[in-house]
């Protein structure tokens, strides 16, 4: 699956360039041939709406819609055995291989140990 996601990311970077050169068109055709039809058709539907089809995951957040990605999904992305869509924006999620350090857990804020805060007027 990692190769599939690398192909999708490369395809997106080539298609979203300012100008598409003739030598790049052949590479785009090669990449599209390597990607299964159901995946490329979903990718194309998003592109038809003016949206990118692949979003990077950083700090447990989808870079496409800035919504939090469940930790279980991030861990599955790290293993690279399947592909996943963002629950919110429906983009394919991509976790770069070299960014294992970005897998910081986002946890709810812990309550302070000092007890209840005093109201401002009581000070």
pLDDT tens-digit map of 81-96: 889 999 999 999 999 8
- Give the H/E segment covering residue 37: helix 37-48
Sheet containing strand 92-94, strands side by side: 61-62, 54-58, 92-94
CATH topology of domain 2-104: Helix Hairpins (1.10.287)
Tell me if the pTM is above 0.85.
Answer: no
Q: Where do the structural domains in the chain lie, given as residue ranges?
A: 2-104
Residues contacting residue 49 through CB under 8 Å, at least 6 positions apart: none
Residue 97's alpha-carbon distances to 11, 15, 57, 72, 100, in angstroms, are: 18, 22, 11, 17, 7
Q: What DSSP string describes 46-113?
A: HHHTT--SEEEEETTEETTT-PBPPHHHHHHHHHTSS--B-TTT-PEEE--TT-GGG-----PPPPPT
Q: What is the pLDDT of residues 37-92, one digit of tens each?
A: 999 999 999 999 989 999 999 999 999 999 999 999 999 999 888 899 999 999 99
């Amino acid at each position: 699956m990692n190769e599939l996601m690398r192909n999708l990311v490369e395809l997106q970077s080539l298609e979203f360039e300012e100008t598409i050169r003739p030598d790049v068109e052949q590479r785009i055709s090669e990449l599209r041939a390597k990607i299964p039809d159901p995946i490329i058709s979903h990718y194309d539907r998003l592109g038809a709406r003016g949206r990118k089809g692949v979003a990077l995951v950083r700090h447990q957040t989808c870079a496409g819609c800035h919504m939090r990605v469940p930790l279980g999904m991030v861990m599955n992305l790290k293993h690279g055995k399947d592909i996943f869509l963002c629950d919110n924006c429906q983009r394919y999620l991509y976790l770069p291989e070299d960014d294992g350090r970005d897998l910081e857990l986002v946890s709810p804020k812990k309550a302070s140990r000092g007890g209840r805060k005093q109201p401002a007027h009581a000070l």
